[in-house]
């Protein structure tokens, strides 16, 4: 298992909790290999290479309280450059709107990947981010098919008067399998 996080304190926390010889944690932001601004938000799990879309987010519970507390410039790393050669059974992406950027810069990796488990957004939580249809189209063109949407996250509209009705699907995790007859890949799936 190889994990990445550009926020050093989060990487250290995970390393302290998950001390296993099979776990490698690297302090990288995964992307396209170029320099980008990292927007660190008050809920740092929402930190992203894309700025928050305040106009959109102001309409929804939880999202309306998000704001950027700092920024920093960093060079991202491409998966093709940091993963060792060989098959990838399971590729999990949760990079807050930059999933398509990561996938577009991971051609070699995708050719050897059995399963892509990828966070996708259905509304523009971040300015300029690609949404679910863009990611599905990209993966479909590379012989991946959607298997399921899991962990759907719904929010209610602020001021709707119906606080319990979380009626807007804003993000979920999409699971894609590579279409193949290869026995090893099918076994990993």
How many residues are there in the chain?
189
Q: Which residues contact 187 (CB under 8 A, 6 or more apart)?
A: none
pLDDT (0 to 100) of residue 162? 58
More confident residue, 134 or 28: 134
Listed residue (83, 82, 73) closest to 49, CA to CA? 73
Specify the pLDDT at position 20.
Answer: 76
Eight-state DSSP code of residue 156:
P
**pLDDT digit string (tens) for 58-109?**
999 889 999 999 999 999 999 999 998 899 999 999 999 999 999 999 999 9
Q: How confident is the model at residue 27 (pLDDT cuts 50, 70, 90)?
A: confident
Q: What percent of the chain has pLDDT above 90? A: 75
Residue 160: per-residue pLDDT: 58
Answer whether residue 1 shows pLDDT above 90. no
CA 90, CA 100: separation in Å to the nearest integer?
17
Q: What tens digit of pLDDT does each residue of 3-17 get? A: 888 877 777 777 778
Strands 2-4 and 24-26 come out as parallel
Average pLDDT, the chain: 92
Above 70 in pLDDT, residue 164? no
Buried b (16+ CB within 10 A) or exposed e, 55-64: ebbebbbebb
| Rounded CA separation 158/136 (Å) | 30
């Amino acid at each position: 298992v190889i994990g990445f996080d550009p926020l050093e304190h989060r990487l250290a926390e995970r390393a302290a909790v998950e001390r296993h010889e099979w776990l490698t944690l690297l302090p990288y932001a995964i992307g396209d290999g170029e320099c980008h601004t990292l927007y660190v938000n008050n809920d740092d799990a929402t930190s992203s290479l894309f700025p928050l879309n305040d106009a959109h987010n102001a309409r929804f519970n939880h999202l309306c309280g998000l704001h950027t507390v700092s920024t920093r410039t960093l060079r991202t790393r491409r998966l093709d450059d940091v993963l060792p050669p060989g098959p990838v059974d399971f590729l999990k992406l949760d990079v807050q709107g930059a999933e398509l950027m990561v996938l577009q810069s991971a051609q070699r990796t995708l050719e050897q990947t059995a399963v892509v488990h990828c966070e996708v957004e259905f509304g523009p939580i971040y300015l300029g981010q690609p949404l679910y249809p863009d990611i599905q189209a990209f993966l479909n063109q590379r012989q991946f098919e959607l298997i399921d949407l899991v962990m759907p996250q719904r929010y209610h509209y602020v001021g709707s008067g119906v606080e319990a009705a979380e009626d807007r699907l804003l993000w979920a995790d999409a699971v894609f399998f590579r279409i193949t007859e290869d026995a090893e890949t099918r076994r990993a799936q």
